[in-house]
Amino acid sequence: MESLDPQFTSDLEIAIERAKQMGRFDLADYLALKASNDSIRQKAVDWLFGTILDIVFAFNRHGANIKIEQNDNHTFKNGSSQLSGRKLELRQGLRCLTVEAGWTRRPGDGIMRGGSMAFSRISHFGFRKETEELALLKFENEPQWFSIKDEKTRLSFNASSLKRHFEVFLG
């Protein structure tokens, strides 16, 4: 829970304690699981954005002059679901690479499709076919990003998977 907003973490801990005091161990367990899952989600999104920024900083050290814009309070759609999370835009001249990542936060936001814990979309301005969608799934009891090709095809996504996106972005 340490990577979540401190006020939210404090409020959640109080709610868990109150649920336990009321004998609502089912509610306490649910809230503890939600806090654990949100921490996993946040760490996975942090890894994705951190990895991309490390690559950008390396390119910029060699004169790429990539502009960076971040929004840590971003909402976007995945199907009919409303996701909340972060957005990163990389710009070089007319080219733009956008990365969005988040998950549903409230009951009215909809569902996370395909059993995913979080969702990310990597898109290129003017190159719609290069868009890649990622799902954070548990694999062998560990959370891992997977590229979603269709309903049945999921390919492991890691730092080297970003190479193709930077080839498209930088031309």
> What pLDDT score does 25 carry?
66
> What pLDDT score does 110 carry?
92
> What pLDDT score does 5 carry?
62
Q: List the one residue out of 46, 54, 43, 41 whose CA is nearest residue 160.
A: 54
pTM above 0.85, yes or no: no
The reply to whether 95 falls in a domain is yes
Q: List the one residue out of 65, 64, 129, 132 whose CA is nearest residue 98.
A: 132
Sign of the Cα torsion 11, 17, 22, 28 reads positive
Rounded CA-CA distance 33/102 in Å is 18
Q: How many domains does the chain have?
A: 1
Other C-beta atoms within 10 Å of 93: how many? Answer: 9
Give the structural domain span for 148: 6-170
List of the chain residues with pLDDT < 70: 1-9, 12, 25, 27
pLDDT in tens, 38-88: 889 999 999 999 999 999 999 999 999 999 999 999 999 999 999 999 999
Rounded to a whole number of angstroms, the CA Rg of the chain reads 18
The reply to whether 1 falls in a domain is no
**Contacts of 115 by beta carbon, 8 Å cutoff, 6+ apart:** 137
> What pLDDT score does 122 carry?
98
The reply to whether 138 falls in a domain is yes
Rounded CA-CA distance 25/17 in Å is 10
The reply to whether 164 falls in a domain is yes
